[in-house]
């Protein structure tokens, strides 16, 4: 079976409520959905969430890169044979680096997931036949975004009602200490709290902030200082009263190797779009575990059911997962693109996805409804 066509669509789905942190505020999803079709009629869907402040990618660049660089390199080729090796799909897509980017990972992730979904659907198989689940459900954590102390308190009450056993708080703004203290008071001592600064502080500011926040029993802080020299991050980590998680510092396998070589982090935040797809995310996570670095399976804010499904498969197959994020579905999006809901339930619990391909059925009419730009390579 050969790949014969692709449709690349930028979608913008309004949020139920605005989401903000120190690096960005947004009120809608900002994803690119890739649909591929084989000559047998099998279809597959993938998604990438470009973030200029993470990999350098924008929606416009991603549309162009997938349409003019990545897709032409695989158009007309036989679908890869996936037998226990997810990496075959990653290797199927040739490297086409873009000058000036940290990585073209959102673009690669969208196309990789689409090809994977198509190849498995053609055989009526699911991702679980390749990535064997280690658990029967996935438990997600909650997040308290930027805002006032009063807003943080209100969201924390919602988190408590849902029954989360772990919650992340966005920091890097005024009133951080009061906001974290208020959330801790609402959630009580038994809920795991972690922080995410999105690189908002320099090393001096971060040191002062973490000294003030450490008394609230913080599991870890995500990206306290901007992406930079792993040696500098190691020095910061050695002096920090709170364990360090990297996010923006970790986009590629080379980043992972450098961070591990310098012993610069306690946790890796592995996000499929940010890290270049499911296969590359899995490899980073497995190498981290072998090196004694804990792994969080993260998510992109506003991702649709496509990336959420991929993240669920990754979280289910790893031997150990410290925290899992995402799968907000229509708790955040005004409408999702799949026939089946992917959002978590009480306590953050969510079942495995056992259907063919990624385990969801993408509704093309929903993609078209929220499309802001569509590119069909080879068509005017």
Residue 59 sits in the same domain as residue 169: no
Question: Worst-scoring range by mean pLDDT, 7-11, 169-173, 214-218?
Answer: 169-173
141 falls in which pLDDT band (50, 70, 90)? very high
Q: How many domains does the chain have?
A: 2
pLDDT of residue 25: 60
Q: How far apart are CA 23 and CA 200, in angstroms?
A: 7
Mean pLDDT of 66-80: 97
Residue 113 sits in the same domain as residue 256: no
pLDDT of residue 202: 96
Rg of the chain (C-alpha set): 20
The pTM for the full model equals: 0.96
Examine residue 336 and state whether it is found in any structural domain, yes or no. Answer: yes
Buried b / exposed e over 268-297, threshold 16 CB at 10 Å, is: bbbbbbbbbbbbbbbbbbebbbeeebbbbb
Mean pLDDT of 119-147: 95
Examine residue 185 and state whether it is found in any structural domain, yes or no. Answer: yes
pLDDT of residue 84: 80
Examine residue 119 and state whether it is found in any structural domain, yes or no. Answer: yes
Domain at 34, CATH number: 3.30.390.10
Q: Are strands 43-48 and 192-196 parallel, antiparallel or unpaired?
A: unpaired
Residue 145 sits in the same domain as residue 104: no
Examine residue 182 and state whether it is found in any structural domain, yes or no. Answer: yes
Averaged confidence pLDDT in the chain: 95
Residue 334 sits in the same domain as residue 224: yes
Residue 114 sits in the same domain as residue 191: no
Residue 248 sits in the same domain as residue 366: no
Residue 217 sits in the same domain as residue 89: no
Residue 303 sits in the same domain as residue 245: yes
Domain at 265, CATH number: 3.20.20.120
Decide: 8 and 158 in contact? Cβ < 8 Å.
no
Q: How far apart are CA 378 and CA 66, in angstroms?
A: 12
Examine residue 190 and state whether it is found in any structural domain, yes or no. Answer: yes
Q: Sort 239 into a burial class: Cβ within 10 Å, 0-12 / 13-18 / 19+.
A: exposed
What is the percent of the chain where pLDDT is above 90? 93
Examine residue 380 and state whether it is found in any structural domain, yes or no. Answer: no
pLDDT of residue 380: 38
Structure-token pair, residue 215: 């008394």
What is the percent of the chain where pLDDT is above 70? 97
pLDDT of residue 27: 86
pLDDT of residue 83: 86
Residue 147 sits in the same domain as residue 218: yes
Residue 233 sits in the same domain as residue 141: yes
State which residues form the domain around 108.
3-124+360-375
pLDDT of residue 19: 57
Q: Which residue has the tokens 């008394």?
A: 215
378 falls in which pLDDT band (50, 70, 90)? confident
Decide: 77 and 223 in contact? Cβ < 8 Å.
no
Residue 156 sits in the same domain as residue 295: yes
Q: Which residue has the tokens 């974290």?
A: 180
40 pLDDT above the threshold of 50: yes
Mean pLDDT of 252-267: 98
Q: Sort 94 into a burial class: Cβ within 10 Å, 0-12 / 13-18 / 19+.
A: exposed
Per-residue pLDDT tens digits for 93-124: 999 999 999 999 999 999 999 999 999 999 99
Q: State the SS3 of the chain.
A: CEEEEEEEEEECCEEEEEEEECCEEEEECCEEEEEEEECCCCEEEEEECCCCCCCCCCHHHHHHHHHHHHHHHHCCCECCCCCCCCHHHHHHCCCCCCCCCCCCHHHHHHHHHHHHHHHHHHCCCEHHHCCCCCCCEEECCEEECCCCHHHHHHHHHHHHHHCCCEEEEECCCCCHHHHHHHHHHHHCCCCEEEEECCCCCCHHHHHHHHHHHHHHCEEEEECCCCCCCHHHHHHHHHHCCCCEEECCCCCCHHHHHHHHHCCCCCEEEECHHHHCCHHHHHHHHHHHHHCCCEEEECCCCCCCHHHHHHHHHHHHHCCCCCEECCCCHHHCECCCCECCCCCCCHHHEEECCCCCECCCCECHHHHHHCEEEEECCCCC
Structure-token pair, residue 373: 């730009």
Per-residue pLDDT tens digits for 333-343: 999 999 999 99
| Other beta carbons within 10 Å of 302 | 22
Residue 59 sits in the same domain as residue 159: no
pLDDT of residue 291: 98
319 pLDDT above the threshold of 50: yes
């Amino acid at each position: 079976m050969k790949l014969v066509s692709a449709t690349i669509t930028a979608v913008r789905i309004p949020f139920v409520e605005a989401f903000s942190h120190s690096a960005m505020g947004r009120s809608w999803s900002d994803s690119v959905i890739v649909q591929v079709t084989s000559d047998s009629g099998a279809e597959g869907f993938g998604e990438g969430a470009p973030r200029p402040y993470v990999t350098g990618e924008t929606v416009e660049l991603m549309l162009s890169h997938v349409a003019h660089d990545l897709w032409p390199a695989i158009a007309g080729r036989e679908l890869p044979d996936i037998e226990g090796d997810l990496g075959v799909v990653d290797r199927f897509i040739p490297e086409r680096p873009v000058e000036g980017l940290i990585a073209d990972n959102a673009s690669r992730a969208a196309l990789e997931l689409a090809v994977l979904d198509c190849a498995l659907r053609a055989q009526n198989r699911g991702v679980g036949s390749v990535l064997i689940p280690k658990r029967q459900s996935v438990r997600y954590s909650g997040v308290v975004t930027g805002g006032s102390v009063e807003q943080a308190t209100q969201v924390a009450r919602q988190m408590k009602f849902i029954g989360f056993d772990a919650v992340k708080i966005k920091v890097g703004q005024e009133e951080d200490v009061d906001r974290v203290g208020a959330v801790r008071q609402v959630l009580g001592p038994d809920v795991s709290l972690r922080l995410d600064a999105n690189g908002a502080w320099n090393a001096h500011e971060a040191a002062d902030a973490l000294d003030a926040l450490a008394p609230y029993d913080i599991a870890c802080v995500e990206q306290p200082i901007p992406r930079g020299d792993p040696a500098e991050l190691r020095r910061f980590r050695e002096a920090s009263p709170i364990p360090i998680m990297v996010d923006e510092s970790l986009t590629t396998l080379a980043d992972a190797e450098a961070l591990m070589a310098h012993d610069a982090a306690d946790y890796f935040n592995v996000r499929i779009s940010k890290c270049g797809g499911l296969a590359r995310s899995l490899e980073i996570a497995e190498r981290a575990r072998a090196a004694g670095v804990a792994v969080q399976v993260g998510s992109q804010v506003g991702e649709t059911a496509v990336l959420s499904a991929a993240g669920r498969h990754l979280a289910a197959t790893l031997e150990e997962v410290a925290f899992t994020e995402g799968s907000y579905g229509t708790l955040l999006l005004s409408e999702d693109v799949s026939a089946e809901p992917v959002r978590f339930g009480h306590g953050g619990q969510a079942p495995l996805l056992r259907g063919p391909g990624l385990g969801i059925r993408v509704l093309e009419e929903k993609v078209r409804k929220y499309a802001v730009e569509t590119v069909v390579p080879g068509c005017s």
